[in-house]
Amino acid sequence: MENHTDAHIVPYKMYLYILGGLIMLTLISVAVTEIEFGEFSVLVALVLASIKATLVLIYFMHLKFDNKILQIMVPAIFILVALVIIIVFLDYNYR
Amino acid sequence: MTQNESNQTHVSFRDVETRFKGLFAWVFSTDHKRIGLLYLYSIVTFFLTGVALGIAMKLELMAPGRDVMDPETYNAIFTLHGVIMIFLVVVPGLPAIFGNFFLPIMIGAKDVAFPKLNLMSWWLYVLGALVALSSLFMADGPPDTGWTFYAPYSFKTNTNVLPAVIGAFILGFSSILTGINFIVTIHRLRAPGMGWFKMPLFPWTLYGTGWIQILATPIVGITLLMIVGERLFSIGFFDPALGGDPILYQHLFWIYSHPAVYIMILPAMGAISEIIPTFANKTIFGYKAIVISTLAIAFVGYFVWGHHMFTSGMSGTALYTFSLLTFLVAIPSAIKVFNWVSTLHKASIQLEAPFFWAVSFVFVFMIGGLSGLALGALATNVHLHDTAFVVAHFHYIVFGGVGFAFLGAIHYWFPKMWGRMYNKKRAITGWVLFFIGFNTLYLPMFFLGISGMPRRYYDYVERFHGPNIVSTIGSWVLLIGLVVIIYNLVRSAKKGEPAVKNPWGGKTLEWTVDSPPTLENFEDIPEVTKGPYDYR
Amino acid sequence: MDTSTTITHDEHRDDEASKLGMWLFIFTELLLFAGLFIVYGVYRYENQEAFHSAGKELSVPIGTINTVILLISSATIAMASSAIRFKNKKLTIRLLVVTLLMALIFMVNKYFEWTGKIEHGYLPGTDTLMNMEQGKVLFYGLYFFMTGLHALHIIVGVILITIVVIRVNKNTLSDENPVLLDNAGLYWHLVDLIWIFLFPLFYLIA
């Protein structure tokens, strides 16, 4: 068992690349509101947000360099939330 | 191997000198054993308060019409009984008391991962309890909503819902922090050699419980905050007049409060899984099946909340789904029952008090579980919803299941916690009275419910009179049993015979340390080579 | 023997445990907001039109600027975690101060946005809002509740990061024990993460 986090140090540059990517995605998500997706506009916005969230989780929050257990737990939590939302909508969608 | 060893190096954790003296040496202690006992004393205090309220309700129900209180008082009493018993007693019960005391010892650690956070959890618990109970002493009186705080009544009533809700929110925080602490402890502090599948079953159930505490409690936290927002700022989340949906409140409330049942029952099952192999002198049957069923209950139990809302007007699809999932969650619970019973098969059983508690747990848990299936079926639920049948069912699980396991656990671990033995005969007398009283109290309520007596009513029609009298008498027998048990334990904690290290012949690590344990539990962290219940 | 301290100041320090504990706490925060997202989802589903028109009244430029600000602050605190490991104390402090400044700008923007909406009478409980259509009442109720709770998290984050800055400055937090900085970072990313979802849900889906 390692007691100190001496995992590898992420170079500054990579954070800047990721930041650039995130800002790009933000601007894209603002820009696409001009396009008429109809029913899918919610979906598009949420997909873009999820991509951004994934980038934050993997790089800013170091999941890429963390131990396996966290790499399993974090997606599991998001799946759990998704399942709860789906089940709630089993009620509202079919009422 | 006895008390003679208690020389300088073997000072019990209770006699250790600390920075503070007297009471402060306890309330500011970060020792997991002292925190466990702090929880014990505070929880037992609230438990007795809850019992008094329960007895008062039964007294009112002894005869139709007004007997000892008016309807408003009755509403307040069943609300307080629920809030106290759920949030202050049963949810923290086994994990906070026995989890704190024994989790580190059973996995071979000196303390939990975050001792200071652990102490903070207890302080938050006390704070939350005081805030919740302050509603009693304010103008407008205690809340009368039931412990569920259903919208829209919870923000329309003039009674003091706010302190109760904020108190429950703080208690949720305490519960979350305990959960985090236990999960990290289990991940990081297991003794060398103790792989996941060499861990005893009580820590395993605490692990499952910890996850539910972390993942479900925040939902009720935010829901209670929304009630606060609703009352203070009339935001309209759940107010039909403003477009809100009261059924959504029920969804959110039960997303926590159903898993909360598993927060209660999982550690109880864990304690039973410790007691049964010890008194059967036999390896537990199907260790891995119990572990997997524990995790399965924790997982599936997260998705069955809707079975509390079958008559609320949910969509048909949701009804079928929740009913199906409810039946699914019964499977892992049944697996455990089969495992416990199989462990007893051809075993040489020691007939001691903890064993009686454990087998009677299986008995009442079966009744509770099977009546739960009657409620989980859609058609019967319509008939039984909000009747005394429901009250009987969940008391068989929460009081029968968790309560019996709690009393079993305290009789099992008493010699380790206080370093003394209790009077065994008196312990068994207490059990007999309690068991008879319990069943006399709650069995009639199944019949009352089937014949249509609603819950939460302070009055009833004449034809329900008979069973209600029986039930009230049962509550007195139960009370007498409880008095015997408490008298026996309190007296023995002071005057009992000194206990040896391993009075029952248990195989888990807590039986290898002193009774009571020293501050650091182990002189040297043990090396684990065998499985937890290695009897043969 | 001063035993209560021997246990808390255990010679063994476990950074992995602290990190795991922080992650578990983050899970609870995620679930806390998940509860609100469920409420949002249900009411949006039931009041499509009202949510549409109400969402149009929020300023997309301010929302976008605040999103970019939070993203930058997230990047700077992540870089601070690297800087402290490169033993660059000066840069660490600078990056953290930039993070704090960004948080401050975010809050100032938020303040103007809120006061603007309150002037329009959108504050829950006021008569103007109560007389509007139901979907709008719910939208603004959720808007104030969710962004308010998020702002509360920003304030907690600012306090936490300030403590980290002080400790780095006093050299009690260095490349030897950077776990508090890492955990403050994790918390700050969580704040960012929630905003990433709040932004499109309130400002963009109109």
Question: Per the CB < 8 Å rule, is A92 touching C185?
Answer: no
CA distance B318 to chain A (A): 5
Q: Is the pLDDT of residue B124 over 50?
A: yes
Average pLDDT over residues C72-78: 96
Beta bridge partners of B518: B12
Rounded mean pLDDT, C107-128: 89
Please give the tally of structural domains in chain C: 1
Residues of C in contact with A62 (CB under 8 A): 182
Q: What is the pLDDT of residues C16-65, one digit of tens each?
A: 999 999 999 999 999 999 999 999 999 999 998 899 888 888 999 999 99
Amino acid identity for residue B33 in this structure:
K
Q: DSSP readout, A41-74? A: HHHHHHHHHHHHHHHIIIIIT-GGGS-HHHHHHH
Average pLDDT score over chain C: 90
Distance from CA of A89 to the nearest CA of B (A): 8
Chain B, window 18-57: residues with a beta carbon less than 8 angstroms from a chain A beta carbon? none
* Confidence band for C171, pLDDT divided at 50, 70 and 90: very high
Q: Is the pLDDT of residue B6 over 60?
A: no
Q: How many CB pairs under 8 A join B and C?
A: 134
Task: Kindly report the nearest CA distance between residue C41 and chain B, in angstroms.
Answer: 11
Q: What is the pLDDT of residue B5?
A: 43
Q: Does B119 contact C at CB distance below 8 Å? A: no
Mean pLDDT computed over B311-319: 93
- Domain ranges for chain A, please list them: 12-93
Tens digits of residue pLDDT in B282-314: 999 999 999 999 999 999 999 999 999 999 999
Read off the pLDDT of each residue in B445-468 and give the average, rounded to a whole number.
95
| pLDDT at residue B4 greater than cutoff 80 | no
Buried-state track B82-116, b at ≥16 Cβ within 10 A, e below 16: bbbbbbbbbbbbbbbbbbbbbbbbbbbbbbbbbbe
CATH classification at residue C77: 1.20.120.80
User: C12 lies in a domain?
Assistant: no
- Give me the residue from A83, A92, A93 closest to B303, CB to CB: A83
pLDDT of C12: 60
Q: Which of A69, A77, A90 sits opposite B317 (nearest CB)?
A: A90
Whether residue C144 lies inside any domain: the answer is yes
Chain segment B320-353, per-residue pLDDT in tens: 999 999 999 999 999 999 999 999 999 999 999 9
- C-alpha–C-alpha distance, residues B275 and B351, integer Å: 12
Mutation pick from B119, B214, B235 vs chain C, by most beta carbons of C within 10 Å, is B235
DSSP code, position B514: -
Out of A69, A83, A91, closest to residue B314 by CB: A91
Does the residue C161 lie in any domain?
yes
Closest Cβ–Cβ partner in C24, C33, C138 for B243: C138
**Residue C3's pLDDT is what?**
40
Give a yes or no: residue C184 inside a domain.
Answer: yes
- pTM greater than 0.90 (yes/no): yes
Distance CA B43, CA B409 (A): 15
Q: What is the pLDDT of residue C23?
A: 96
Q: What are the pLDDT digits (tens) for B243-261? A: 889 999 999 999 999 999 9
Q: Is the dihedral of CA C67, A89, C148, B218 positive or negative?
A: negative
Query: Which of B188, B255, B321 is facing A90, going by the closest CB pair?
Result: B321
In angstroms, what separates the C-alpha of B190 from chain A's closest C-alpha?
Answer: 11
pLDDT at C127 over 70: yes
Interface test with B, best of C2, C26, C29, C31 (most B CBs within 10 A): C31
- Write out pLDDT tens, residues B372-428: 999 999 999 999 999 999 999 999 999 999 999 999 999 999 999 999 999 999 999
Domain B34-512 sits in CATH at: 1.20.210.10
What's the pLDDT band for A7 if we cut at 50, 70, 90?
low
Rounded (5°) CA angle C154-C158-C159: 120
Average pLDDT of the segment spanning B140-154:
90
Nearest chain A Cα distance for residue B315, angstroms: 4
Q: Which helix (H) or strand (E) holds A34?
A: none
Q: How far is C110 from chain A (nearest CA, A)?
A: 18
Beta partners for residue B498, in sequence order: B420
Q: What is the interface pTM, i.e. ipTM, of the complex? A: 0.93
For the cut 90, the answer to whether the pLDDT of residue B106 exceeds it is yes
Say which residue the tokens 């029913």 belong to.
A39
B179 touching C (Cβ < 8 Å)? yes
CB nearest B242 (choices: C3, C8, C134): C134
Model confidence at B7: pLDDT above 60: no
Q: Which one of A77, A90, A93 makes the best mutation probe of the B interface by having the most chain B beta carbons within 10 Å?
A: A90
Instruction: Identify the H or E element spanning C135.
Output: helix C134-169
Inter-chain CB pairs, A–B, below 8 Å? 34
Give me the residues of B, 9-68, that contact C with CB < 8 A. 16-20, 28-31
Residue B484's alpha-carbon distances to B83, B354, C45, in angstroms, are 26, 15, 58
User: Which pLDDT value is given to residue C10?
Assistant: 44
Answer yes or no: are the C-beta atoms of A91 and B255 closer than 8 Å.
Answer: no
**Any chain A CB within 8 A of the CB of B188?**
yes
CB contact under 8 Å between A10 and C78, yes or no, is yes
Cβ–Cβ gap A91/B255 under 8 Å: no
